[in-house]
Structure 1
């Protein structure tokens, strides 16, 4: 679903109502977010570079630390995989990852890890994201290396021991071991 707008870039009232229902946000908040989105990206479609610039303004960490995690988040928010994020994709992703229930957040977290869109996560995919999160948070990789962290996560939630995690294994495993959410999700806090 893309943005339908009038000449002055206002959201179509029907789209606005759908976004209110989907996100639970007030109309005024959605309109304010759309204005910010359009300031960052007047075309209404945000590519990876524009998303990085916009996302960087939402974070306090250094540019270098934000860049890699922003790439993963961009891929998770780009639900139709067209290489662009429109306002509805951004707002839906932002609302769910900030305000959504645990299962909805974990679906986005799963998409963050599933870079090849195979509907499963392997250790390499998880190590890449965990490493980027360590960098973002300034966490030492020598104390608890990302590889060891991923090994521990897999040992807890890879129920069939096939060295990959399906979406159900991932979500159910994290929900049964809620402390893991702090380890695997950049959307906490």
Structure 2
């Protein structure tokens, strides 16, 4: 019984840090924690549990959410241990929902940087763009993901090295705000 209380209890210092990091109120953080623990009593979500939880947060069909949820999982899993704890989830979800454009783009960068080498290559971007097309039900024939990626790279790959650093990516999207609608699954 003491174990259950321990799992549902969240230390005040953790709450204070989450308030600071997310801008959410204490009551909202506690409510999200309850939802998180209902979905994942162990307190850590693997990819499969995250997908089940994430699809309840999206209105699109299961098939459309599945691929993009994979990329979102990787961007939320900041320590790359294959699991998302409550802090990683809440920070990721709050920032991608409520954060500044720059904060959202930081997560978008992580979403594309699948191999976590601090740069995005064309192949990584094509995979995510194709998954976003599927999520949005967008035709791949009118404006193929490959052509979309070529266009994005031509606009923001300033040194033409065929890869995008985080700074190139974020600065490029900030200078070309319409790109955010194309490259980010975190837009309203």
**So what's the TM-score if we normalise by structure 1?**
0.96
Which structure 2 residues correspond to residues 148-159 of structure 1 after superposition, within 5 A? 148-159=147-158
**4+ long deviations beyond 3 Å:** none
Which residue is equivalent to 2:38? 39
Q: Provide Cα deviations, 1:115-150, integer angstroms capped at 9, x if missing partner.
A: 001111011000000000000000010111100100
Q: Secondary structure at the match of 2:138?
A: coil
Which residue is equivalent to 1:12? 11
Q: Count residues with an aligned counterpart.
A: 185
Q: Secondary structure at the match of 1:121?
A: strand
Q: Secondary structure at the match of 2:181?
A: helix
Which residue is equivalent to 1:124? 123
Deviation at 1:98, TM superposition (A): 0.6
Unmatched 5+ stretches in structure 2: none
Is the contact made by 1:40 and 1:54 (CA closer than 8 Å) also made in structure 2? yes
Distance 1:6 1:163 in 2: 52
Unmatched 5+ stretches in structure 1: none
Which residue is equivalent to 1:52? 51
Which residue is equivalent to 1:173? 172
Distance 2:7 2:115 in 1: 38
Distance 1:167 1:133 in 2: 20
Which residue is equivalent to 2:185? 186
Q: Secondary structure at the match of 2:185?
A: coil
Distance 1:60 1:136 in 2: 10
Which residue is equivalent to 2:97? 98
Deviation at 1:7, TM superposition (A): 2.3
Deviation at 1:62, TM superposition (A): 1.1
**So what's the TM-score if we normalise by structure 2?**
0.96
Deviation at 1:6, TM superposition (A): 4.9
Q: Secondary structure at the match of 1:72?
A: helix
Distance 2:5 2:11 in 1: 7
Distance 1:8 1:150 in 2: 44
Matched, 1:139 2:138: yes
Is the contact made by 1:6 and 1:12 (CA closer than 8 Å) also made in structure 2? no
